[in-house]
Amino acid sequence: MNKEAFGAFIAERRREQGLLQRELANRLHVTDKAVSKWERGLSYPDVTLLEPLASALGMRVEELLACRRHTAPAEESERGEEPVKNLLDISGDSVRRERRRSWQRLAALAGMVLLTGLTIWYCATYVTEVRESTVFLKETVDGTNYLYVELWDQGHLLKLRCGPNVDIDAVIPGSSIYQLDCRWNRRSHQGTVSACAPTGSESLGRITDAVFDEGEGPLFNLLMVYRSSGEYYRNPYGVGYLCDYTCWVLLDEENWETGTILTVEDCVSAIPWDLDSDGENELVVRTRWPEKPYTVYDWADGEIRESWPDTVPQELQEQLICIWEQ
């Protein structure tokens, strides 16, 4: 059925009844915009409105569907197929319209579910907080400054990119506690820090009680450096154990006076190795941090200096494997 012809027929019958679009709409409990769309041939009425629409226009449903007033019973019988066909057209249009509405409602529901899921994911992934922590390490990479903060309950280092208000030169890694305004990702353990101020408090370090069982050998270009591991305890964030690793020298052999030159806490393993190929062994430590798995300690100008390479040679990695990993 032609929508324009059907709409023109409705408009003509409405005017014959002396009704405005608004008045017809009120009788059918629809908007006047809906009536306007019918009369302009933009859409059909819903199939459930055909009977009340015909009644409001002073005709039978068959006449409305045939788009003409029947003047004789014979005409109705002769033209009976046309109203049925028109009814099927209107019904099909109503079904398609309802299907579109159903998809729109489904899409809106899916959008709400997606938005809710994204909100939950964002809140579960990103943390914005003011935390008090010791700074484990600071470094500058390609002109960008970073601070590393220990996440005690997760077994990770939190890598924070410094904002313009953070004076990295004033930050001293170690035992001092700082207040940091930061935002970070729980999954990547990376984020940013916008402010870092000392609290005036100090963090109490672990006390080592070394058991000398690792042997001795040349290290740091010193004649004899004794090495020991002790205070073994189960790794709370992985397999195996962690320990404290101590390097010490004999100051007075007659009185057995010793001096500790380096203690590394909570490490997996350690081994002397000439990593920079300068003919002198450094101490290479395998840490418990997946973000910074290696630390290298060297002796220069009478003091220990440390560096944090991203990786070490495969041969050295194999030497740092512990017995419980073999």
Spans of all domains in the chain? 3-79, 126-202, 216-325
Give the residue-averaged pLDDT of 22-39: 90
Cross-strand bridge partners of residue 294: 286
Cβ 45 vs Cβ 33: under 8 Å = no
* pLDDT for residue 181: 95
Confidence bin at 218 (pLDDT 50/70/90)? low
Placement of tokens 């199939």 in the chain: 47
Cβ 203 vs Cβ 173: under 8 Å = no
pTM over 0.85? The answer is: no
* pLDDT for residue 74: 43
Full strand arrangement of the beta sheet holding 222-234: 216-219, 222-234, 241-252, 257-273, 282-287, 294-300, 303-307
pLDDT single digits (tens) 192-209: 999 999 988 765 443 333
Cβ 63 vs Cβ 70: under 8 Å = yes
CA distances 108 to 2, 115, 116, 161, Å, are 33, 10, 12, 39
CB atoms within 10 A of CB 2: 12
- Report which of 169, 167, 146, 171 is spatially closest to residue 157, judged by C-alpha positions: 146
Backbone angles phi, psi at 129, to 5 degrees: -155, 165
Please report which residue ranges of the chain form alpha helices under DSSP H: 3-16, 21-28, 32-39, 50-56, 61-66, 73-78, 81-125, 314-319
* pLDDT for residue 180: 94
Percent residues over pLDDT 90 in the chain: 26
Domain 3-79 CATH superfamily: lambda repressor-like DNA-binding domains (1.10.260.40)
Q: What average pLDDT does the structure give for the chain?
A: 81
Q: Between residues 84 and 44, which one has the greater pLDDT?
A: 44
Placement of tokens 């600071």 in the chain: 138
Q: Between residues 210 and 127, which one has the greater pLDDT?
A: 127
> Integer distance in angstroms from the first to the last C-alpha of the chain?
81
Tokens of 97: 């319209």
* pLDDT for residue 170: 92
Domains 3-79 and 126-202 share a fold: no
* pLDDT for residue 208: 36
* pLDDT for residue 146: 95
Cβ 166 vs Cβ 192: under 8 Å = no
d(CA 193, CA 284): 30
Bridging pattern class, strands 257-273 and 282-287: antiparallel
Give the residue-averaged pLDDT of 82-109: 66
d(CA 128, CA 180): 11
Confidence bin at 310 (pLDDT 50/70/90)? confident
Confidence bin at 212 (pLDDT 50/70/90)? very low
Cβ 159 vs Cβ 191: under 8 Å = yes
Give me the architecture of the 126-202 domain, per CATH.
Answer: Beta Barrel (2.40)
CB atoms within 10 A of CB 281: 20
d(CA 296, CA 275): 8
d(CA 294, CA 278): 19
Placement of tokens 């915009």 in the chain: 33
d(CA 12, CA 1): 17
